Chains A and B, each alone.
Chain A
């Protein structure tokens, strides 16, 4: 199961990097440079990604040609909104290091840091 997940990530990674539509054959050939994988395995996983809405596809000849539904950046941005979003994670689903602060709070934080040993290994603000 885990390996299927890894394969999903590898397929998405290739399509994002190539930045053009690609057939399963092209993906398999590239994956096979590092390890042997069956065509049907890759086809199945590409189909799963399509059903999840991560990949779009259109016919190119007799095969499907796949491309990512959104850019990698769009997904990263969505994850960040989830972490730092306006509705701070309901029920603490995600715990992040430090919440967003107001400029006043930041200044107070900085003066607290400044007041203890300057230039210590902590190497505070720039």
Chain B
């Protein structure tokens, strides 16, 4: 019981309190990749804690052991004799808690992959592949640049974008899109969206889904400006946005483009190494921390 309470307390901390300072923190935009990793780690940590807590409540008196044995236990893979016979059904509850977000994730991955596949099938018929650019050129007057990530990825520029942008700007834009593909940003994005769909009222889920897309754009910007001037990418963003039909309503996530352009034009130093190390450590530790909470010697 004590362990279950400790785990629920931990889940509350990670799910409701920790995300608020993280969403407001200044360092996240200066180390976007690290921030994405931390959001994902907190989500995983929350699910682990919740599953373990439900397990403790459903199967009272059975102590979870550290590490692999504990994990197998949660997954319902027990060596014979570890549970009194006839109580195996009690594992259904924690298993359901684990499968709920996992199912959401699997469905979201399948859905976005299908969406991309359909888009790509038409794209391959309509767009011309430009070997020099390493991109597909879509014959459309509206300037746009985008990528289809995943296996058989595609980077796409419209004719409108090619006409509007200088060669330098095109190169910077392509580097940005390529960064999305090579960084597999779509997986982090889909995971954050699926987590928010699984736990719609959880602050951690809501904020992670809100912050992750912007952080991924910033990560791709950072990658692009390693080899291309910052002002070139910023100017390309302006030109593309200027050439599109303006929105009438503000975007849900706030003025993301403005944040990105200001950040490109006035780069801030990366966070202090100690802070980076702490964030990296927290990302690595968070998913396994709940196991230590229950199985450590502290709570008998």
Q: Which A positions have Cβ atoms within 8 angstroms of B? A: 5, 8-9, 12, 52, 54, 72-73, 75-80, 82-84, 89-103, 105-106, 108-110, 112-113, 115-117, 120-125
Q: Of A8, A90, A94, A121, which one neighbours B146 at CB under 8 angstroms?
A: A94
> Chain B interface secondary structure, helix, strand, loop or mixed?
helix
Which of chain A's residues have a CB closer than 8 A to the CB of B246?
A: 100-103, 106
Please determine whether B239 and A125 come into contact, CB atoms closer than 8 angstroms: yes
**Tally of A-B residue pairs with Cβ under 8 A?**
180
Which of chain A's residues have a CB closer than 8 A to the CB of B124?
A: 5, 8-9
Q: Is the CB of B268 closer than 8 A to any CB of chain A?
A: no
Q: Is the CB of B186 closer than 8 A to any CB of chain A?
A: yes
In whole angstroms, what is the CA distance A91 to B142 when docked?
23
Q: Of B112, B144, B237, which one neighbours A91 at CB under 8 angstroms?
A: B112
Nearest Cβ on chain B to A62's Cβ, whole angstroms: 28
Question: What would 6 more interface pairs be, CB under 8 Å, given A79-B122, A93-B115?
Answer: A54-B125, A79-B138, A80-B140, A95-B147, A101-B251, A125-B235
Please determine whether B242 and A92 come into contact, CB atoms closer than 8 angstroms: no
Which of chain A's residues have a CB closer than 8 A to the CB of B229?
A: 120-122
Please determine whether A76 and B146 come into contact, CB atoms closer than 8 angstroms: no
Of the listed stretches B5-13, B56-64, B257-265, name the one at the interface; the rest are far from the partner chain. B257-265
Contact of A109 with B249 at beta-carbon distance under 8 Å, contacts A92-B190, A96-B146, A121-B229 already known? no
**Interface positions of B from 102 to 135, Cβ below 8 Å from A:** 108, 111-112, 115-116, 119, 121-127
Please determine whether A112 and B258 come into contact, CB atoms closer than 8 angstroms: yes
Q: Of A54, A93, A113, which one neighbours B235 at CB under 8 angstroms?
A: A113
The 7 closest A-B pairs by CB, nearest first: A122-B231, A96-B146, A92-B189, A122-B235, A93-B115, A93-B112, A91-B112
Nearest Cβ on chain B to A19's Cβ, whole angstroms: 15
Please determine whether A75 and B125 come into contact, CB atoms closer than 8 angstroms: yes
> Chain A interface secondary structure, helix, strand, loop or mixed?
helix
Q: Is the CB of B72 closer than 8 A to any CB of chain A?
A: no
Name the residue in B149, B245, B260, B261 with the highest tally of chain A Cβ atoms < 10 Å from its Cβ.
B261
Count of chain B residues with Cβ under 8 Å from any Cβ of A? Answer: 69
Nearest Cβ on chain B to A104's Cβ, whole angstroms: 8
Instruction: Kindly report which residue of chain B lies nearest to residue A99, judged by CB atoms.
Output: B251
Please determine whether A72 and B126 come into contact, CB atoms closer than 8 angstroms: yes
Please determine whether B176 and A97 come into contact, CB atoms closer than 8 angstroms: yes
In whole angstroms, what is the CA distance A110 to B231 when docked?
12
Q: Is the CB of B244 closer than 8 A to any CB of chain A?
A: yes
Which of chain A's residues have a CB closer than 8 A to the CB of B193?
A: 91-92
Which of chain B's residues have a CB closer than 8 A to the CB of A73?
A: 139
Please determine whether A94 and B116 come into contact, CB atoms closer than 8 angstroms: yes
Contact of A110 with B238 at beta-carbon distance under 8 Å, contacts A90-B112, A95-B185, A101-B246 already known? yes
Nearest Cβ on chain A to B118's Cβ, whole angstroms: 9
Which of chain B's residues have a CB closer than 8 A to the CB of A110?
A: 238, 242
Contact of A9 with B147 at beta-carbon distance under 8 Å, contacts A98-B241, A105-B258, A116-B231 already known? no
